[in-house]
Amino acid sequence: MDSKLSQDDIDRLFLKSDTAPVRKHGAPPAPAYDFRRPDRIPKEQLRSIHLMHDFLARNLATSLGAYLRAYVTVTLVSVEQLSFGEFLQYLPTPTCLSIIGMRPMDGNGVLEMSPSVVFPVLDILLGGTGRGAEGEPREITEIERSIFEGVVRVVLHDLKDAWNNVAKIDFTVEGTETQPQMMQILSPNEAIVAIGFEVTMGEARGMMNLGIPSIQLKMMGAKFDQQWSMRQRHGDAGGKTVMAALLRRMPVAVDIRLEGATLKVRELLRLAPDDVVSLDIPLGRPAEMQLNGCRKFWGQIVAAGGVRGFRVEEKVQEQW
């Protein structure tokens, strides 16, 4: 049998390839795939990253408020995957960029704070009210940068605590920059996970963005999956256990009251030692026990071991 194809055989093969099935009307178009971008992080891992940094936002609001002695709120806004070039395009110019080391892992992350947050913070640290700079945006000076490093250290300390359940990472500042276009620590096409926070302090409000290379997160994929599965199995039970333990340690104010007598203000002002006040309450009427100002039990005042006590007889059914 001859293995060579004639020109007629070749033409018939191309004719068959041209008769491919046509996409049906109304069918969704095939999504475009960019082969320059690495594989995307699974949704389960992104969910764990979201939970971890939501915890960071709550802790950071307390830490920054204590450091600045001001009321600060931090809210997690978004967790998304994009290229490093796209991440830099979304940042204002000028801004405050910090190159973050992630020892013992290789590579660096990026922490950005917008000028609308930086200058009010600097104003508070220098004794002002937190109004910030007026006029056109400007770059921070070397002196302002050294003062602001204390705030960055607070953020990195809480970031380290938030990551402790996944990996022991020491976050450090390895450099600073004010122009996003000058940040060349990653390739523009390299994928990162961008985590956005909104920081509010009085009338000042701005964004804080954290960028972590996706390749670093993929290396810890199993640890993220393990953390998420443990949250799913023990999240509700663990949260209830912690809440119950906290409630058991809370102090409760206990008051025993005999209500019923009323006095006018002038009668109250005339009271003197050895005066007797008529309560207009029968001897058999039970007293009420109040817990943190709420009526809970009826009972009798008794003597117990040489001191006064209260014997619970009935639970209050109706709350006022």
- Each residue's pLDDT, cut to its tens digit, for the chain (320 residues) gives 556 778 887 777 777 655 555 566 666 777 665 555 555 677 777 888 888 899 899 999 999 988 998 899 999 999 998 889 899 998 988 899 999 998 888 888 999 999 999 999 999 998 888 876 666 778 888 999 999 999 999 999 999 988 887 888 899 999 888 888 888 888 888 889 999 999 998 888 999 999 998 888 877 765 665 555 555 555 555 557 767 777 777 788 888 877 777 788 888 888 899 888 877 777 777 888 888 778 888 888 888 777 888 888 888 876 54
Residue 67 lies in a domain: yes
Question: If DSSP codes are grouped into helix, strand and coil, which group holds residue 273?
Answer: coil
**Number of domains the chain is built from:** 2
For the stretch 256-293, what's the b/e string if a residue is b when 16 or more beta carbons lie within 10 angstroms of its beta carbon? Answer: eeeeeeeeeeeeeeeeeeeeeeeeeeeeeebbbbeeee
Q: Is 155 found in the same domain as 233?
A: yes
Say whether both 103 and 231 belong to one domain: yes
Query: For position 164, what pLDDT does the model report?
Result: 84
Tell me if 72 is assigned to some domain. Answer: yes
77 and 111 assigned to the same domain: yes
Say how far apart CA 257 and CA 316 lie, in whole Å: 14
- Spatial distance between the Cα atoms of 95 and 117, rounded to a whole number of angstroms: 10
Residue span of the structural domain in which 237 resides: 43-245
- The H-assigned helical ranges of 135-179 are 142-163
Q: How far apart are CA 88 and CA 185, in angstroms?
A: 11
Residue 301 lies in a domain: yes
In a shared domain, residues 190 and 218: yes
Instruction: Give this prediction's pTM.
Output: 0.60
Check whether residue 155 and residue 296 sit in a common domain.
Answer: no
- Chain-centroid distance of CA 209 in Å reads 13
Same domain for 80 and 172, yes or no, is: yes
Instruction: Say if residue 145 is in the same domain as residue 213.
Output: yes
Would 219 be classed as within a structural domain?
A: yes
Which tokens sit at 252? 């409760």
